[in-house]
Amino acid sequence: MKEIVERSGVAILKSMNPEPPSWDLYRSFLAVLRDGSLSAAARSLGLTQPTLARHVAALEEAVGGALFVRSPRGLEPTDAALALKPQAESLEATAAALWRTASGLGDAVRGPVRVTASEIVGARVLPPILAHLRARHPELVIELVLSNSLDNLLQRDADVAVRMVEPDQQALVVRKIGSIALGLHAHREYLERQGAPEELADLARHSVIGFDRPSPAIRAMAQRVPGFLETPFALRTDSDLAQLAAIEAGFGVGICQIPLARRNSGLVRLLPDSLELSMGVWVAMHEDLRSTPRCRAVFDGLVQGLSAYVAEVPPAGA
């Protein structure tokens, strides 16, 4: 016996008393949804294409309707598939969190820890800190997510987060590291071609590297530097890594972290008396993870490593 139910406005034919599909079927479904073909999904999961086909067919039988249709671009999701997607992704996140918890039981520091950080911090500051952590704890596995968005620690999007704005969520363990000093920099080769600005007004005749869309953090910074938002940028990008790469390549003048710039002998700090900014750094994790050895080890390791990094160049007035 079957009935018609509606999910997110989509009618789905299903059995009255079906056996709940296993997680394997939903995992295969998500892989096909993301990769667009059975062959690509099979490669990403390390399964065979016939196995993926059987999983999709079994899930379609369980929900009572087609989840994909063939098109010149591959397998296109039906409305029923799109209706199932959010719940399947939630199930995937829960399964991953369950495994991270189960794999870290006991007193040993082992298993995966998901760390999220901004682009610059994750790519240029954290690697040596994480290398030190791995050397101390060889069974530790780091899942590093680079994102300038704020992952929700309460929903376990990440285990430990390095943030440049103060976390305002409750039920978090938060440690403020300090503030990272920022300043204007350019490569020596650029300065040899264009000369160095002697005051902020001189930036109008330089190739300035800046943002594409002003974020709340940038607007807050602009309040301390009058006219900054009106600067005519020669390169606009919201990627911090792209901005830093452009400065290092000699494209022009841009703002970057002073301790990071000091590691590159080709970079020169400009107008130190006219412009010095700073941004705070916090390390946070869900309070339920404080007793998990691997999460606590990563949290403490990040606090120690980032504290040393921030101390390399104290912000003005510190």
Number of helices (H) and strands (E), helices first, in the chain?
11, 13
Work out the angle at residue 32's Cα, subtended by the Cα atoms of residues 29 and 36, and round it to the nearest 5 degrees: 150
CB 162 within 8 A of CB 133: no
Reading the block at residue 255, the tokens are 């703002």
Task: Supply the pLDDT for residue 210.
Answer: 87
Model pTM score: 0.66
Phi, psi at residue 91, to the nearest 5°? -65, -40
Contact between 67 and 78 (Cβ < 8 Å): yes
How many Å apart are CA 88 and CA 33, to the nearest integer? Answer: 11
Taking each helix axis from N to C terminus, what angle separates 23-35 and 38-45, rounded to the nearest 10 degrees? Answer: 120
What integer pLDDT is reported at residue 71 of this predicted model?
82
Exposed, middle or buried by CB within 10 Å (0-12, 13-18, 19+), for 127? exposed
pLDDT for 9 equals 45
Neighbours of 21 (CB within 10 A): 15
Q: How far apart are CA 155 and CA 79, in angstroms?
A: 27
Beta bridge partners of 173: 285
Tell me the C-alpha distance between 309 and 96, whole Å.
32
First CA to last CA across the chain, in angstroms?
73
- H or E stretch at 99: helix 79-103
Rounded distance between C-alpha atoms, residue 77 and residue 181, angstroms: 48
Contact 113, 143 (CB under 8 A): yes
What is the residue type of 96?
A: A
* Predicted local confidence at residue 279, as pLDDT: 86
160: left (phi over 0), alpha (psi -120 to 50) or beta: beta
What is the pLDDT tens value at each position of the chain, 318 positions in all? 444 444 444 444 444 545 677 888 888 888 888 888 888 888 888 888 888 889 988 888 888 888 988 888 788 889 988 888 888 888 887 777 676 666 656 667 888 899 999 899 999 999 999 999 999 999 999 999 888 766 555 455 788 999 888 877 666 889 999 999 899 999 999 999 999 999 888 988 999 998 887 666 666 666 666 666 567 899 999 889 999 999 999 999 999 999 999 999 999 999 998 877 888 899 998 887 888 899 999 999 999 999 999 988 766 555
Q: Which two tokens stand for residue 120?
A: 């610059």
3-state secondary structure at position 226: coil
**Which own/partner contact pairs does 199-202 have at CB distance under 8 Å and 24+ positions apart?**
199/271, 199/274, 200/225, 200/227, 200/271, 200/274, 200/275
